[in-house]
Every structure is written in structure tokens, then in C-alpha cells.
Amino acid sequence: MIKVKWFGHSMWKIWNDDTSIIIDPFTDIGYPMPENETADIVLCSHDHFDHNNISLIKGYPEVVNTGGEFDIHNIHIQTFQVWHDNSRGSQRGPNLLMKFVISGKSFLFCGDLGHILSDETIEKIGKIDVIFVPVGGFYTIDAKTAKFIVDKIQPAIVFPMHYKTPVLDFPIAKKEEYLKLITDCRQIDSNEVELTEDDFQKKQTIILNYK
């Protein structure tokens, strides 16, 4: 059993019966602010206010926000240095791709990736079952670039993120710009989903509702 919860923007919780991970907790950017959320591990892809609110998470989690490989609570985590823009960080700084393995499945969180990934980086990342990828453009890659990267990595499950919603006052595109490029969308009227083994046997894009 693996459960995935979307709080909005790029903030996610992934957990099984043993370990919980929260990624890129935000400050008040318009989405409902989580209360009393706990985690064993917090991952932060970069040090921007809408991704690094570590103090929001209760339970004294261990934090990963640097490059390297880590084994925490039986979760193997590997980070890869990339950039928040298309000019090697000169505009918005660095960003980490964050790969972790939970219940035998490999997850890749792209943070605020701002450029196409090189074939060398994709080879280093290796096999990925689930990817969280920004699609809104402006601050990150846009929908077409996200689709290109997804096609290169070939995960079973795609969770688009970092796109425009009614509560977010950022100059980024809506999820529809990505959805019109694909044919395998599964929209769920909930902020969480439980992934079963059957879900990994087919390619699908999952859209959750932050409410």
C-alpha cells in the first residue's frame, strides 16, 4: 500500500504502513494550510518560500534538502543537482531532483525544474515508477517540456503539479495545457489516492483535488 496526498502547488505526502514523507511544504500562498501534519521525512527541493516551510510539519522529521544519498527510516533517497531556470541557476538558483524508493517503487520529485534534462542525468536517475513534474511554465518547465521529459523517463504514473488554480495568484498556466497533450488522464475528486499494484501496470496521469 502506498498513499499519495496533494495539498496543492508542489506539496505532497507519500506514505505506507511504516514511513511517511512530505515534500516541499508551502507557506500561505492561497491553498488551505495543513494543520498538525506529521512526517518521518521532509524533502525540500530548493530554498524558496513556497517550497521550504519545514516548520509546518510536526513530529520532528528528518530533513533532506542537500545533494547526496541518504538512508532514513528504511527509505533510500538520492538527489540530483539541476536548475530552477534554463541558464544554470543564474535567474532562480539551484533545484534538486529527489528520488526515493518506498514499498519497492521508485518515485521522482522534480521540484521547480526549469530546463530539459540531459540524457546523462536521465540515465543516472534510472528507472522511475512515479514522477511528480511541474507543468505551469514561467518559473518552471512548461507543459510541452514536461511531456517531453515524461516521455523520456517513461514512468507508470505521472502527477502534474505547480500549475494555476483558482486560489493561486502566480502567473503560470493551468493543468489543461498539459492534459491536452495526453490521453491517459484519471481525475479524482479527492486530495489523496491509494496506489495499488494494478496502478503500476498501466501508464496514467493522475490529477487530485487539493480541497
> What does the pLDDT look like over 54-99, one tens digit per residue?
999 998 999 999 999 999 999 999 999 998 867 775 677 799 999 9
Nearest to 100 by CA among 57, 71, 120, 134: 71
Regarding pTM above 0.85, the answer is yes
Q: What pLDDT is stored for residue 182 in this prediction?
A: 97
Q: What pLDDT is stored for residue 85 in this prediction?
A: 63
Residues 18-39: tens digit of each pLDDT:
999 999 999 999 999 999 999 9
Residue with more model confidence, 93 or 172: 172
Class of domain 2-207 (CATH, top level): alpha beta
Q: What pLDDT is stored for residue 84 in this prediction?
A: 82
The mean pLDDT of 133-156, rounded to a whole number, is 98
Q: Is 42 exposed, middle or buried (0-12, 13-18, 19+ CB in 10 A)?
A: buried
Q: Which three cell numbers stand for residue 170?
A: 502566480
Q: What pLDDT is stored for residue 110 in this prediction?
A: 98
Q: What pLDDT is stored for residue 194 in this prediction?
A: 98
Q: Is 90 exposed, middle or buried (0-12, 13-18, 19+ CB in 10 A)?
A: exposed
Q: What pLDDT is stored for residue 102 in this prediction?
A: 98
* Secondary structure letter of residue 115 according to DSSP: S
The mean pLDDT of 132-160, rounded to a whole number, is 98
